[in-house]
Structure 1
Amino acid sequence: MTLFLADKVDKLFPGVRALDGVTLKLEAGSVHALLGENGAGKSTLIKVITGLYKPDGGRLVLDGSEVQFGSPHESASAGIGVVHQERNLIPGFTVGENILLQKLPTSRGLVDRSAIRTEAARWLAELDLDLDPDQPVTELSVAQAQLVEIAKALSVESRVLLLDEPTASITPNEAERLFRVVAKLKNDGRAVLFVSHKLEEVFQICDTVTVLRDGASVLESGPLGDLTRDQVVDLMVGRVHEALALPARTVPAADPLLELSGVGTASGHADVDLSVRPGEIVGLYGLVGAGRSELAKALLGLDRITAGEVRVRGQAVRIRNVRDALRNHKIGYVTENRKEEGVFLEQSVSRNIAVTVWDRLRKVLGYVPAKAEAAMVAEYVEQLGIRIASPAQLTGTLSGGNQQKVSLAKWLAAKTEILIIDEPTVGIDVRTKDAFHTLIWDLAANGLAILLITSDLPEMITLADRVVVMRDHRVQGEVANDHDYDTMSQRVIRLIHAEGTTAA
């Protein structure tokens, strides 16, 4: 039985046809994959379905009746739940309040705190998630916040559940927990839409698939069991995807640009030692909660360093903030959270890229010549292959991959010499991921010192020259990378589970 149908849906933006006659059919008791490259229209379609965007053509049908949603609240009230790729929790609220936000229990006109705790605990238990409903969401890790988002969507008892990159920021164990919940929803007769760039997950849990390319459906509701991985990738990109082959690159013998010696932080790091030389990619690997992103932020002055020494170009430094890191030490940081920290969504592409170099371009009385800014922006748009209608386009209207390129462009424009890149390809399709890998490789070949943080072990093994493994905010050991996946994965995993600090 068809629970939901998006029939020949169009969506237009200035200079862009984001959706061109897209059809999506979701059946009761089925998990349906929605696939496509970044910019193919997946997130736009979800925003149309959930009332964030009004379609410019076509129709939406729920349970046999045509519907029109003017807001996400109307969509949710009709029985459509959604977990967006970017988190939408309210920072000032608790875990329980966020989960039950659509229908907060009350007693005699007041919010019933006891009922919130009881009801939220039920949905947390559905995910086997051991969290206190009274805990502020600001204290959650990225993975925990993502799972709370899923509990929030389940709490409205949706007949249709849309999952947009739900596993992008969670561990494999947490993903398996989510897949068990998805299987239960399927057995209960609900329709689940699963959007992911991880094809191994798609083939593991999905029954049918719709593939979008350039805003149009190139496959509508095809049985996934009839397709191979290469056939799916071919549908997504228009050709069979070839394995990435990177050119040879030699790390020059040179003193480190960045060194940490016995570093401790207010977040709990202790005795952290690592170094990065010019032209070198040093990987920082560990499970979610290992403290990798927190260490990066401490290096930028966003957390207090309580012990040890940080040296840049051989000199001990105390970095006060991101501005100090960039202006005085030429350190840039491509954050994992591009939506909230990486780019200004409501500002133009031009402004986002130029923001780090206004001081350099500024003339007398603070005037920034438009011609100089435009030339600089055009250089990096072309270099990184950023797909835009014009430099004036709002960054929030770009695909996730292009937003990530804009985030990277602003640091390259600032002529950084040390670049910290945190989860560069989360939520990015296979072809764009390859483009990022080539770009990072080329940046190192041109002398940039790169500290790479990624939870994607194949990505780490593809790119890093050395892999530093962390657990519980400490360095477990270091592995020289021979780029052989089988041997490297075994050595890295052994370090993650090893007791005490070891070398490999």
Structure 2
Amino acid sequence: MLELKNVRKSYPGVKALDDVDITFLAGEVHALLGENGAGKSTLIKIISGFHKADGGDVLLNGVPYIANNTHEAIIQGVHTVYQDLQVIQMASVAENIMLDKIPTIGRTGMVDWKALDKHASEYMQVVGLDVPPMTRMSSLSIGQRQLAEIAKALASDIKILLLDEPTASLTDNDAQKLFSVIKQLKERGVLIIFVSHVLEEVLQVCDRVSILRDGRCVVTDDVSNLDRKKIVKYMIGRDEDVTPFPVQNIHMDQKMLEVRGITKAKKAYDINFELYKGEILGFYGLVGAGRTELAKILIGYDKPDSGEIFVKGEKARIRSIHEAMSRYGIGYVTEDRHKDGLVLKDNIKTNITITIWDRLSNLLGIVSGPKEVDVSKKQIDDLEIKATSWRQRVGNLSGGNQQKVNVGKWLAADSEILIIDEPTVGVDVGAKEYFCKLIWDLADSGKSIILISSDMPEIIKLANRILVFSGNHIVGEVDNTNKDYQETSQQIGDLISEFHVSAS
């Protein structure tokens, strides 16, 4: 259905794609894999009409495919659902689905709401989106919004669907619903190009895999011929390091954070725990289990209904994110770096120093530019951020380098307590290894880390203690000092199962 022949694309100082050849077939789920910066995003943007290739040919059903913008791509049946969903929040689901073909009554120009409801319902039924068509989009979960985006694509005679990190923010149930929809689309003959860093789901849902490295396609093969180990070696050019990190040197005599009975309706119920100097404390649970909700209470984003927080033995009154950082030394690396963590349109310098402008300003409140540059250069060097300079826009960096900037602003603030929420979502295997080593090194240097993750191998590799979350409760604690994956994962699974049984 879709052929790429010798496709090339360069940016100043960077060859993003170098003679890429890939053939995609109708009715298949074709994974596009590679490290951050390997060329996946550039390739997706060329197919979706967002960028134009410098050279080579793109053929759709044997005919030259020309899309100067995303609208022209959609007209030809090529739709892209990005991780950062492009929806109109205040409009209804039906209006979003039928946006470019809203029915009107005769020549009056008035919307035919009955017809709009009827047509949208047909596509919603196909993807299993079971809400009233006039429901406001902003009230839907991320998984439901994603299904609405796919329903919108179906309404436009879809031929090719590009899914960019489709499960990054989904619960396990929503992910399984999405996989069911993918199977239906495949049976209709739709080509699905699936971009993901979660290799387990690639092996579960995809038929073939193409792997990019340094702008070139190094292999295209059937999933049946591949496993995780082979895929990782193709992606990073070496075997994956799966060795657990040593147990941290935890200062048990220095309690950095203590939480007693924190409760917030529908978000946290009677939460109790301690965090010690030099410790990595794991918060494990699936999306929606209550981990991030608790983190936002700890940093002052949400106010608890009851309970107490102590920092270094002193009762804390945290009323804002700024106060958490400036007064109590608590930093929060958000799970959604695009929405909450970074100013994508601004440069690296601004993003890294934004947490310490008060320290870099004079008596008149004017921030020192040279001091900003010095701080940002240090973080760029320390974190090995791949960028042309501190002037580069963060939105133009790869996902892994964006995450480094997201971490760098809290390191610049010298936070003693770091809450790191899903640090490796949307980053490749090589970057995952980097961030795991960075987190361990931070704890080894004396930082106290709360690691929030739904990636069980990651949290078992790093944390000494793991608090297990489900239904906005801590359902148990697992001692992980032996770093035995099978034993620890079994204990975590048992705790979640026991909680669900008792709750029901």
TM range (shorter): over 0.9
Q: Distance in 1 between matches of 2:311 and 2:116?
A: 50
Amino acid at match of 1:111: V
Q: Distance in 2 between matches of 1:501 and 1:177?
A: 23
* Corresponding residue for residue 476 of structure 1: 475
* Corresponding residue for residue 40 of structure 2: 42
Q: Which string of whole-angstrom CA distances, capped at 9 and with x for unpartnered residues, describes residues 267-303 of structure 1?
A: 5422122221221122222222222212211222222
* Helix, strand or coil at the partner of 1:32: strand
Deviation larger for 28-37 or 465-474: 465-474
Asked if the contact 1:94/1:134 (under 8 Å) is kept, the reply is: yes
Q: Distance in 1 between matches of 2:75 and 2:324?
A: 47
Asked if the contact 2:172/2:286 (under 8 Å) is kept, the reply is: no
Q: Distance in 1 between matches of 2:348 and 2:93?
A: 35
The offset of 1:41, in angstroms, is: 1.1
Amino acid at match of 1:321: S
Residue 360 of structure 1 pairs with residue 359 of structure 2: yes
Deviation larger for 175-184 or 447-456: 175-184
Closer/same/farther in 2, CA of residues 226 and 334 from structure 1, 3 Å limit: same
Closer/same/farther in 2, CA of residues 81 and 342 from structure 1, 3 Å limit: same
Q: Which string of whole-angstrom CA distances, capped at 9 and with x for unpartnered residues, describes residues 138-188 of structure 1?
A: 333444444443444344341111111112222334333322322222222
* Corresponding residue for residue 467 of structure 1: 466
* Corresponding residue for residue 78 of structure 1: 76
The offset of 1:368, in angstroms, is: 3.5
Amino acid at match of 1:430: V
Q: Distance in 1 between matches of 2:123 and 2:419?
A: 37
Matched ranges for 1:295-374 at <5 A: 295-374=294-373
Asked if the contact 2:470/2:499 (under 8 Å) is kept, the reply is: no
* Corresponding residue for residue 285 of structure 1: 284
The offset of 1:466, in angstroms, is: 1.6
The offset of 1:129, in angstroms, is: 4.0
* Corresponding residue for residue 259 of structure 1: 258
Closer/same/farther in 2, CA of residues 92 and 256 from structure 1, 3 Å limit: farther
Q: Distance in 2 between matches of 1:471 and 1:142?
A: 19
* Corresponding residue for residue 205 of structure 1: 205
* Helix, strand or coil at the partner of 1:275: strand
Residue 491 of structure 1 pairs with residue 491 of structure 2: yes
Deviation larger for 81-90 or 111-120: 111-120
* Corresponding residue for residue 216 of structure 1: 216
Q: Distance in 1 between matches of 2:184 and 2:141?
A: 26
Q: Distance in 2 between matches of 1:312 and 1:101?
A: 51
Q: Distance in 1 between matches of 2:137 and 2:315?
A: 36
* Corresponding residue for residue 408 of structure 2: 409
* Corresponding residue for residue 10 of structure 1: 8
Q: Distance in 2 between matches of 1:177 and 1:143?
A: 9
Closer/same/farther in 2, CA of residues 97 and 309 from structure 1, 3 Å limit: farther
TM-score normalized with structure 1 length: 0.92
* Corresponding residue for residue 31 of structure 1: 29
Q: Distance in 2 between matches of 1:129 and 1:281?
A: 39
Asked if the contact 2:9/2:55 (under 8 Å) is kept, the reply is: yes
Show structure 1 runs of 5+ residues with no match: none
Asked if the contact 2:356/2:412 (under 8 Å) is kept, the reply is: yes
Q: Which string of whole-angstrom CA distances, capped at 9 and with x for unpartnered residues, describes residues 193-233 of structure 1?
A: 111122222222222222111122222x4333334433322
The offset of 1:406, in angstroms, is: 0.5
Amino acid at match of 1:343: L
Closer/same/farther in 2, CA of residues 324 and 217 from structure 1, 3 Å limit: same
Matched ranges for 1:412-427 at <5 A: 412-427=411-426
Q: Which string of whole-angstrom CA distances, capped at 9 and with x for unpartnered residues, describes residues 302-358 of structure 1?
A: 222211112222222232221111111111111111111111111111211111122
Q: Distance in 2 between matches of 1:445 and 1:161?
A: 45
Amino acid at match of 2:128: D
TM-score normalized with structure 2 length: 0.92
Closer/same/farther in 2, CA of residues 88 and 478 from structure 1, 3 Å limit: same
Amino acid at match of 1:246: F
The offset of 1:377, in angstroms, is: 1.5
Closer/same/farther in 2, CA of residues 145 and 480 from structure 1, 3 Å limit: farther
Residue 186 of structure 1 pairs with residue 190 of structure 2: no
Q: Distance in 2 between matches of 1:475 and 1:501?
A: 15
Closer/same/farther in 2, CA of residues 451 and 149 from structure 1, 3 Å limit: farther
Amino acid at match of 2:45: K
Q: Distance in 2 between matches of 1:268 and 1:199?
A: 31
Deviation larger for 76-85 or 57-66: 57-66
Closer/same/farther in 2, CA of residues 451 and 271 from structure 1, 3 Å limit: same
* Helix, strand or coil at the partner of 1:253: strand
Show structure 2 runs of 5+ residues with no match: none
The offset of 1:379, in angstroms, is: 1.6
Asked if the contact 1:81/1:158 (under 8 Å) is kept, the reply is: yes
Q: Percent identity?
A: 45
Q: Distance in 1 between matches of 2:153 and 2:253?
A: 52
Q: Which string of whole-angstrom CA distances, capped at 9 and with x for unpartnered residues, describes residues 426-457 of structure 1?
A: 11111110111111111111111111211112
Q: Distance in 2 between matches of 1:487 and 1:465?
A: 14
Asked if the contact 2:475/2:495 (under 8 Å) is kept, the reply is: yes
Q: Which string of whole-angstrom CA distances, capped at 9 and with x for unpartnered residues, describes residues 4-61 of structure 1?
A: 1233222222322222222332111222111110111101111111111222222322
